[in-house]
Chain A
C-alpha cells in the first residue's frame, strides 16, 4: 500500500541533543512537507521541498534542518537551537509542487518528540 511512513512514533531527547525524524513516501509525490502541531494551534509549516536537492523554509524553520537527497525521503533534524521542541511532528506529501493541483496533503502518522 502506498503511503507515508514516519519514525520513530515516540522520541525522547535530552536538552542539547540533536534528533532526526525520518519520513519516507512511496506515493511518487514531488512535494514533501514538515509540520509541527501544538495543542490549540493549527499545524505550522517548518520546511517544504518541491524537488530533490531543493527545500525552502516555512514559517517556523529556526532550530530545524532538512535534506532531500532522494525523492522518497525528507528527514527532519531538530537541533539543540530549537528552544521549545516538545511537539507532535507531521510529515506530508502532495502530488505536485507549485501552483498546479489542489494541494491535497497526505500525512504520515506523526512523531511525538518530548524533551526531558
Chain B
C-alpha cells in the first residue's frame, strides 16, 4: 500500500540547535515533495517544495533534502527558536489532483 511516514513522536530540542525531521514514503513517485507548518487549531501553511530532480533546497533557516532512491526527505531548521514550535507536515504531489499528506511531526523548541 502507499504510505507516507513521519515520526509520530514529538521532537524536543534546545533553542539554537538544528531540528531535523524525517519523511519516508513507499510506492509513490512524487513529482514534488512539500513541507507545511501547522500551528494548533489552524490551517497548514506552505513552507517549501522540492522537485524530484533536486537534491536540496534552502530558504532562510530551512533546508530540505530529497533522496528519491531512499524515498526520503529530511527537513532541517537551523538556529531553531521557540517560535518554530509547531507540527510540520510532509506532503507528496504526484502531478495530478491529489496531494498526499503525512500525519506530521510535532516540534518543541525550548528556550
Give CA–CA (A50, B96) in the complex, Å: 11
Of chain A, the residue at the smallest CB distance from B6 is A42
Q: What size tier do the contact residues of chain A reach?
A: 20 to 34
A97 near B97: Cβ-Cβ < 8 Å: yes
Please report B residues at the A interface, Cβ cutoff 8 Å: 4, 8, 31-32, 34, 36, 41-46, 49, 51, 89, 91, 93, 95-104
B42 near A99: Cβ-Cβ < 8 Å: no
Q: Which of A31, A41, A97, A105 has the most CB of B within 10 A?
A: A105
A107 near B43: Cβ-Cβ < 8 Å: yes
1/0 per residue, CB under 8 A from B, across A1-23: the answer is 00010100000000000000000
A84 at the interface (CB under 8 A from B): no
B97 near A98: Cβ-Cβ < 8 Å: yes
